[in-house]
Amino acid sequence: MKFIDEYRDFEIVQKISRKLKEYSGREISLMEVCGGHTMAIHRFGIPSLLPDNIKLISGPGCPVCVSSISFIDKAIEYSKIKDVIIATYGDLIRVPGSESSLEKEKSKGADIRIVYSTLEALNIAQNNKDKKVIILGIGFETTAPGSAVAIRKAYDEKISNFCLLSAHKIMPPVMEALLNDDVKLDGFICPGHVSTITGSKIYDFIPDKYKIGCVVTGFEPTDLMQSVLMLSKQVFEGDQKVEIQYSRVVTKEGNVKAQNIMNEVFETRSDYWRGIGEIPDSGLKLREKYKDFDAELFFDVKVESKNEHTACICGDILRGLKTPKDCKLFNKACSPENPIGACMVSSEGACHAYFKYQNYEPFMH
């Protein structure tokens, strides 16, 4: 299949693996900040193909994983209100809040529906005019334009029973927060889907300010291996910059139309990242023009959220300080069937990836 088979060529992967041996002699730590990359790295056994001196670290690239407990708790409280329908993406339904989850509330009778797009949620609102439909907006710059389209459509068509509970976040602020944290990084494997929307230009400040290289990367084995090679070369040559490995999809400027509608509907705000903390200007909220579609302004709900399970180390995993195997709950009390932390719930979470592929035989072996 075009754009699949040629990027899974075992001979090319082996060739890059041999080439990486030229960059031995110093430790190189590279972080991916995309849940899709995390899954692909473990699915294809990429770490086993790298020299011992090159280490891949999973960062906060899973939008479900970084959604705060208070966001989940608030969604749960909304689901208990009469004549409210909660529309959510599937991964979010099992994320634990302080005392419950959306899945548990659904089993008790709450009207919680899994959707595949914000426009599907908008259709639910149009077909249930006697009820209020709340779409749970999660994700980074990849999904925020879709939420923006639905909100603007609701505004234009005067669909008054539709609103958004936003946990949308943007990537550059958290990447900068990580660079000011305790984890030592030599480069970022930058997210492909986010960059399709934003373009690679959003990362320019990282090499300019922090002297850390960035490579926007695709999701196949040769994509990932080539990005590691490109970053390793930057490290050894001392020439840190932003490069696009995923050039078949990503450009420097990105999808300007998607950026424009996202910026029209949303503005930035400080937001809380689960396990990391509050980061200035890292979240998205509806602008004044669209405030009537803000669930937090429509419903006056107060929640008292608790902290994470005391033994859960999702925060340290999301910050790249520890791996899932460092957690004493991993593969014991915590599993995809019984997730203690958000990193195990989502299919893009680091703990889920480690669990799913721990005994997996990668395709190149």
| pLDDT exceeds 80 at position 361 | no
CB 62 within 8 A of CB 90: no
Residue 264: C-alpha distances to residues 149, 194, 221, 289 (Å)? 10, 18, 37, 9
Q: Which of 91-105, 164-178, 227-241, 242-256 has the lowest mean pLDDT?
A: 91-105
Q: Which of 84-88, 116-120, 137-141, 307-311 has the lowest mean pLDDT?
A: 307-311
Q: What is the mean pLDDT of residues 322-349?
A: 90
The candidate with the shortest Cα–Cα distance to 106, out of 80, 82, 134, 131, is 80
According to DSSP, the β-strands at 277-286 and 266-273 are antiparallel
Question: pLDDT-derived band of residue 304, with 50, 70 and 90 as boundaries?
Answer: confident
| pLDDT exceeds 90 at position 326 | yes
| pLDDT exceeds 70 at position 224 | yes
pLDDT greater at residue 331 or residue 246: 246
Looking at residue 2, its pLDDT comes to 65
Question: pLDDT-derived band of residue 182, with 50, 70 and 90 as boundaries?
Answer: confident
Looking at residue 85, its pLDDT comes to 98
Spatial separation of the C-alpha atoms in residues 318 and 307, rounded to whole Å: 16
Q: What is the mean pLDDT of residues 122-127?
A: 97
> For 115, what's the count of Cα atoms within 13 Å in the CB-facing half-sphere?
24
Residue 55: C-alpha distances to residues 79, 232, 359 (Å)? 43, 11, 20
| pLDDT exceeds 60 at position 363 | no
Spatial separation of the C-alpha atoms in residues 285 and 227, rounded to whole Å: 33
In the predicted model, what is the mean pLDDT of the chain? 93
CB 86 within 8 A of CB 102: yes
Spatial separation of the C-alpha atoms in residues 137 and 158, rounded to whole Å: 20
Looking at residue 258, its pLDDT comes to 98
According to DSSP, the β-strands at 213-216 and 242-244 are parallel
Instruction: Spell out the residues 6+ positions from residue 353 whose beta carbon is closer than 8 angstroms to its own.
Output: 38, 39, 41, 42, 43, 58
Number of Cβ within 10 Å of residue 221's Cβ equals: 25
According to DSSP, the β-strands at 242-244 and 54-58 are unpaired
- The ranges assigned to domains in the chain are 64-170+254-298
Structure tokens that stand for 227 in this block: 């990005």
Looking at residue 308, its pLDDT comes to 73
Q: Which of 35-49, 155-169, 206-220, 327-341 has the lowest mean pLDDT?
A: 327-341
Looking at residue 365, its pLDDT comes to 45
Looking at residue 223, its pLDDT comes to 97
Looking at residue 112, its pLDDT comes to 98
The candidate with the shortest Cα–Cα distance to 290, out of 265, 258, 319, is 265
Secondary structure element (H or E) that encloses residue 57, with its range: strand 54-58
| pLDDT exceeds 80 at position 109 | yes
Architecture of domain 64-170+254-298: 3-Layer(aba) Sandwich (3.40)
What are the tens digits of pLDDT across the range 50-91?
A: 999 999 999 999 999 999 889 999 999 999 999 999 999 998
Looking at residue 175, its pLDDT comes to 97
Which residue's structure tokens are 């950026």?
A: 259
Rg of the chain (C-alpha set): 21
Looking at residue 364, its pLDDT comes to 52
- For 65-127, give the DSSP string: HHS-HHHHHHHHHHHTSTTEEEEE-GGGGG---SS--HHHHHHTT--EEE-SSHHHHHHHHHH
Looking at residue 91, its pLDDT comes to 86
